[in-house]
């Protein structure tokens, strides 16, 4: 009589480490505690709005409140993850984060999850996505093998999803007012006269090799005619260059030099003589 062949087990391994078990218990207790605290201490919307307005008046936040990068020949701008985190803090009773659910070194990718959760209203937004262990460079795609490079790549890709998750659970009017106030703070420049802010902007860009004439070409007007909006735009561009979202060459292309300018017109003279 043939004996049935036992099927392989598909259950998860029964053994887990003590640290993992402790962390699982801690995480469950933390979630329960967060819900209880949110119900016992609901947010004060008036106080949250007042704190948001005060935060958005700070130059340090306003300068980091927007991102800028190039994609497909066009420029994409918007509110940054730094602003999203600050708004989540002042709104209160909000949890957010980025989790690496699984790493596959054979395929060179990580499965990530970004989430934001309003524990008071039980409004939650999350997204699961794959991050390849690769980085785009000017010479092509580069495979990442160093653990630190992989971590930073995952964090950079996840930050955008965390930002969108936070904005998805916050009231739109709250986010829009914060963006408007940050723009106003950039235009005000911390109370400095416009002429001084223009001079500071020129000096700042000279520190990364961008001359005043290249900035004037970019804005299509002389520095003496720059407005508060122009200076605010330059601050956003500079911060984006610092974060590596755009390059100085992309934002401020060097002027093209003609052959006559390089040769001083000698090429044309020789050509005319030969004719």
Q: How confident is the model at residue 266, as a pLDDT?
A: 55
What integer is the mean pLDDT of 29-50? 79
Residue 241 confidence (pLDDT): 87
Of 78, 81, 134, 76, nearest in space to 250 by CA: 76
- Residues 275, 273: Cα–Cα separation, whole Å: 5
**pLDDT, tens digit, 9 for 90 and up, residues 71-95:** 766 777 889 999 999 999 999 999 9
Is 98 within 8 Å of 159 (Cβ atoms)? yes
Q: What is the pLDDT of residue 77?
A: 84
Q: Radius of gyration (Cα) for the chain, nearest Å? A: 27
User: How high is the pLDDT of residue 275?
Assistant: 43
Residue 105 pLDDT grade (very low, low, confident, very high; cuts 50, 70, 90): confident
Question: Tokens in use for 118?
Answer: 């309003």
- Whether the per-residue pLDDT at 36 is higher than 80: the answer is no
Helix, strand, or coil (residue 34) = helix
Q: Burial of 59 by CB count in 10 Å (0-12 exposed, 13-18 middle, 19+ buried)?
A: middle
Q: How distant is the alpha carbon of residue 44 from its chain centre?
A: 29
Q: CA 24 to CA 132: how far, in whole Å? A: 27
Average of per-residue pLDDT across 28-50: 79
Kindly state the average pLDDT of the residues 98-127. Answer: 92
Question: Which three-class secondary structure state does DSSP give residue 135?
Answer: strand
* Residue 142 pLDDT exceeds 60: yes
- pLDDT band at residue 112 using 50, 70 and 90 as cut-offs: very high
Q: How would residue 180 be classed by pLDDT, with cut points 50, 70 and 90? A: very high
Q: How far is CA 145 from each of CA 108, 134, 159, rounded to the nearest angstrom?
A: 8, 9, 21
103: CB partners within 8 A, 6+ apart: 109, 110, 111, 150
Q: From 236, 125, 95, select the one nearest 179 (Cα to Cα).
A: 236
16 falls in which pLDDT band (50, 70, 90)? low
Which two tokens mark 76?
Answer: 């994409």
Residues in the chain: 275
Mean pLDDT score, 46-60? 95
Is residue 272's pLDDT more than 60? no
Contact 157, 144 (CB under 8 A): no
User: Model pTM?
Assistant: 0.73
Mean pLDDT of 27-43: 71
H helix intervals, the chain: 18-40, 45-56, 59-64, 81-91, 147-169, 172-188, 194-206, 212-219, 228-243, 248-251, 259-263, 266-274
- According to DSSP, residue 92 is labeled -
What pLDDT does 11 receive? 47
Q: What is the pLDDT of residue 250?
A: 82
């Amino acid at each position: 009589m043939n004996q049935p062949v036992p099927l392989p087990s598909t259950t998860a391994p029964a053994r887990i480490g003590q640290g993992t078990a402790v962390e699982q218990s801690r995480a469950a207790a933390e979630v329960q505690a967060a819900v209880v605290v949110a119900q016992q201490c609901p947010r004060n919307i008036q106080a949250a709005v007042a704190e948001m307005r005060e935060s958005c008046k700070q130059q340090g936040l306003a300068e980091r409140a927007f991102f800028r990068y190039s994609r497909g020949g066009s420029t994409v701008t918007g509110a940054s993850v730094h602003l999203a985190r600050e708004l989540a803090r002042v709104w209160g009773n909000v949890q957010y984060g980025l989790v690496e659910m699984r790493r596959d070194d054979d395929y060179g990718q990580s499965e990530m999850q970004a989430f934001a959760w309003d524990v008071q209203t039980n409004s939650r937004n999350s997204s699961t996505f794959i991050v390849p262990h690769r980085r785009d460079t000017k010479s092509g795609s580069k495979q990442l093998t160093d653990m630190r490079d992989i971590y930073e790549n995952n964090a950079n890709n996840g930050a955008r999803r965390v930002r969108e998750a936070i904005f998805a659970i916050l009231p739109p009017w709250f986010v829009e007012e914060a963006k408007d106030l940050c723009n106003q703070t950039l235009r005000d420049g911390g109370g400095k006269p416009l002429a001084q802010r223009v001079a500071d902007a020129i000096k700042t860009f000279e520190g990364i090799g961008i001359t005043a004439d290249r900035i004037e070409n970019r804005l299509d007007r002389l520095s003496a005619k720059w407005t508060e909006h122009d200076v605010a735009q330059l601050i956003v561009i500079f911060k984006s260059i610092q974060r590596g979202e755009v390059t100085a060459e992309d934002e401020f292309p060097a002027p093209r030099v003609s052959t006559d300018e390089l040769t001083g017109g000698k090429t044309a003279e020789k050509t005319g003589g030969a004719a």
